[in-house]
Every structure is written in structure tokens, then in C-alpha cells.
Amino acid sequence: MAKKTTTNNKVVADNRRARFDYEIGETIEAGLQLVGTEVKSLRHNKANIAESYVSPEGGEVWLINGNIPEYLQANQFNHDPRRKRRLLLHQREIDRLSQSVDREGMTIVPLRLYFNDRGIAKLAIALAKGKKTHDKRETEKKRDWQREKNRLLKELG
């Protein structure tokens, strides 16, 4: 049986600021432990992970401060929008992440919240190291030069 090469991931939330503030290293796909109203809210593309972070605590990994707004039709059975959500990872991945945070001073950053091909909510997380101010300026210069170069090539070619 041939392996599927194309993916139809439906992105719900994207943390664009993470690539500017951090040097992204290894990325990992993690599942999320959600309740029903959270999934329904995500299916309506309502989520924000821009201010959230991932923290290893007590042998588990948690998404903290991720905002999934209440599902309006749920009435009294709704969820807390900013509750801590457990990430579903293998134990050796949890150990590797927590060791990187403890020993190397790295940070675990959420990058994207999406539904995979099977319709399951996933969170792309990455081990990252914070950028200094001069590194951020350098990244901005490279991005501006790339934009200008593409504009010139388009005009000439």
C-alpha cells in the first residue's frame, strides 16, 4: 500500500510570532486532550495560541493560556476558554522535552493548531531558543531584502 504524500491539514490557529521571537529547532506533533465543546469551537476556526506556551509539569506536558472560546450553542455545558490542556505525547518524547528545557534552557513553543487528515485536533510544538534583539533585526533585514529581490526579479523578468 502506497503512503499518502499530500496532506489536507486544516489550520485552525497559527502562531506567526513564534518564528520571529525564537530560533525554531525540532518540531513535534502532539495530540490535545479536549472536551466536546472545545472541538466544536475549533471546527468553527475559533482559537488563539499566540500568547500560549507549553510547560512540562509532573511528567506531563501542558498547553497553558491557549484560548479556545466557548461554543455558543452549548449553554451551561461549556468549557473554560483558557484552561490548561494536556498534550498527548509518548513518554520518551515528554522526557526528551523536559530534559531540553531543564538542561539546555530551551523553550517549548506552540506553532500551529490544526486538524489532521483523520479529523483529529493536533498541535505542532517546537523546541526553541529565544532570539536576542539584534538577531530579530537581522531576520527582519533578510526578510525585507528577500521581498525587495523578488519585486526586482518580477519587474525585470
For 17-61, how does the pLDDT look when each residue is reduced to its tens digit (9 = 90+)? 888 888 888 999 999 998 888 888 888 888 889 889 899 988 899
pLDDT-based confidence at 132, cuts 50/70/90?
confident
CATH architecture of 10-132: Beta Barrel (2.40)
Give the pLDDT of residue 110. 94
Give the pLDDT of residue 8. 66
| Structural domain spans, the chain | 10-132
Give percent above pLDDT 70 in the chain.
95
Query: Does 3 have pLDDT greater than 50?
Result: no
pLDDT-based confidence at 7, cuts 50/70/90?
low
pLDDT digits (tens, 9 = 90+) for 110-127: 999 999 999 899 999 999
Give the pLDDT of residue 130. 84
Please give the full DSSP string across the chain, using - where no structure is assigned: -PPP-----EEEEE-HHHHHHEEEEEEEEEEE---HHHHHHHHTT--B-TT-EEEEETTEEEEES-B-PPPGGGGGG---TT--EEEE--HHHHHHHHHHHHHH--EEEEEEEEE-TTS-EEEEEEEEEEPPHHHHHHHHHHHHHHHHHHHHHHHH-
Across residues 67-90, what is the average pLDDT? 83
pLDDT-based confidence at 2, cuts 50/70/90?
very low
